[in-house]
A and B are shown apart, each in its own frame.
Chain A
Amino acid sequence: MGNGLIIITALLVALPASLLGVFLMMRRLVMVGDAISHAVLPGIVVAYLITESRDSFPMLLGAAVMGVLTTMFIDFLNRRIRIQQDAAIGTAFTFLFAVGVLLIAFFAGTNTDLDQECVLYGDLETSFLDQRIWGGYLVGTGAIFQLLPLNILVLTVIVFAFRPLTVWAFNSDFGKLLGMKTGRWQLLMMSLVSIHAVFSFESVGAIMVVGMLVLPASAAYLISNKLSVVLFLSATIGILGCVVGFFVALWLNVSIAPTIVSICGLFFTTIWLVQWLRGERKVIQTGAVTN
């Protein structure tokens, strides 16, 4: 029973990540996604300290606002102060993450629920203890009840706004020409990434989120050029990574979240190597091909 609940939680983290990751990758915003997943830490810590609990929904949404503010701050440093993008990202998120770590260190004595290690690993292993019973039946866990609405939201947005999101992702200028408010689409996607970062934080920790965002999406992108196919493949790889990763972690008796990301990394590396070696052969065979 516990295993099932853990796998479901992992899947609910991986599915939206692998879908959102595709769009982030197309827009070259992967590292912004990484920055968000770090930057929500101080927000989460403050939320915990105020409510003294882990599942205060409004407080966590407040923490997600931190993520959106981070993207705006990066944008501000980049556009107005003209700091190059990579340095703007590196400056903004390391600072916010450092503040989060300091807050934890400061209040570690008063709140034993929160420590530096869980920031890194997450608590996937114990998430199933927080069970919700309804009418005598086990209906899920706290983490599942947080992640489920997010999954529905992300799927709804991607299904119904597929075309504008495609325009935004591939060719933002073209969208502007059409009169699309590309800024708002970006805000929507970044909000989803921030909410995801907050809700998946306690399951997989802050740092594994970027792996879940980028690895399935990149592996899928290497296989296909069609956005809908890339999304589908990315979700599939993410899900497979969760299931395989979970059992590997049990078998080796190691932490689950990093194992899942390692397995996704293994999938990515395998796909890349196969493609690369096949491509090399193709070039040799068709060395003098005409076009």
Chain B
Amino acid sequence: MENHCITVENLQVNYHQQVALESVSVELPAGKITGIIGPNGSGKTTFLKAVLGIVTPATGIVRFFGEELDKVRQQVAYVPQRESVDWDFPISVYDVVSMGRLNPKRWWQRVAAEDLRIIQDALAQVSLTELQHRQIGQLSGGQQQRVFLARALAQQASLIVMDEPFVGVDVASQDSILKVLQTLRDEGKSIVIVHHDLSTVANYFDYVVLLNNKLVAAGDTKVMLKPETLAKAYGHSLLFQSTSES
């Protein structure tokens, strides 16, 4: 079994005629919670979107579990940034989660009994069963984040990619989301999270990738979080920025 969930080689992204991300090569371990860390505007989200093919990169090869994305799409779940979601959209919690069961090859199919069970399990796992008929705008920040986590669960993916899941979410919800993620990891799933708050990195992640428009460093959290490593990697700017934001 391939022990990397994502392998990136020489990934470069140009955006509006500028380089947003410069030639990144990195391997993310499978079965762990990996944090992609960097200050605002450091290209974290761009990295994620390029990896997932949402943004077309200028150069680079990306493999998931050693395969091309097209072969393993069902295995990859994406949880978008909260701000990028239109919370006034006329859609219920249940509908969002049911998207996880949508088969791209058989999109006309109705939700089967088996799917229904999986959807309800996913909702239960993030404790949203009672709120499933609400319109998504009528939830709190933490609940909203859990809706999208539930969609990823319903997809039964082995890799969950999340973009800033802890932004605008209260501490209690952060913990409950983290608990779900840790359970998933213990079941052998891989989780990749884009995150900007350096102060919480030690509690959340097993493995850390530091980005600042290019790859700064990558390694186990314990090694990476030594002040020397960070200072060498970033100078003071990152530390300053992340503490002021948190």
Bound together, the chains give a CA A84 to CA B213 distance in angstroms of: 35
* Chain B 171-190 interface mask (CB, 8 Å, partner A; 1/0): 00000000000000000000
- Residues of A within 8 Å of B, CB-based: how many? 11
A162 CB to closest chain B CB, in angstroms? Answer: 28
The reply on A287 being an interface residue by CB < 8 A is: yes
B136 CB to closest chain A CB, in angstroms? Answer: 13
User: When the two chains form their complex, are residues B88 and A82 in contact, meaning their CB atoms are under 8 A apart?
Assistant: yes
Q: For chains A and B in complex, what number of residue pairs have CB atoms within 8 angstroms?
A: 19
User: When the two chains form their complex, are residues B213 and A287 in contact, meaning their CB atoms are under 8 A apart?
Assistant: no
SS class of chain A's interface: helix, strand, loop or mixed? loop
CB-CB contacts below 8 Å: B56-84 with A: 58
> Which chain A residues border B18 with CB–CB below 8 Å?
289, 291
> Which chain A residues border B17 with CB–CB below 8 Å?
279, 282-283, 286
* Chain A 63-96 interface mask (CB, 8 Å, partner B; 1/0): 0000000000000000000101000000000000
* Chain A 253-290 interface mask (CB, 8 Å, partner B; 1/0): 00000000000000000000000000100110011111
User: When the two chains form their complex, are residues A289 and B88 in contact, meaning their CB atoms are under 8 A apart?
Assistant: no
SS class of chain B's interface: helix, strand, loop or mixed? strand
A290: contacting residue among B22, B58, B88, CB under 8 A: B22
User: When the two chains form their complex, are residues A84 and B22 in contact, meaning their CB atoms are under 8 A apart?
Assistant: no
* Chain B 5-24 interface mask (CB, 8 Å, partner A; 1/0): 00000001010011100100
User: When the two chains form their complex, are residues B88 and A291 in contact, meaning their CB atoms are under 8 A apart?
Assistant: no
> Which chain B residues border A279 with CB–CB below 8 Å?
17
A interface list, Cβ under 8 A from B = 82, 84, 279, 282-283, 286-291
A sample of 19 inter-chain contacts (CB < 8 A) reads A82-B88, A84-B88, A279-B17, A282-B17, A283-B14, A283-B17, A286-B17, A287-B14, A287-B58, A288-B12, A288-B19, A289-B18, A289-B19, A290-B19, A290-B22, A291-B18, A291-B19, A291-B22, A291-B213
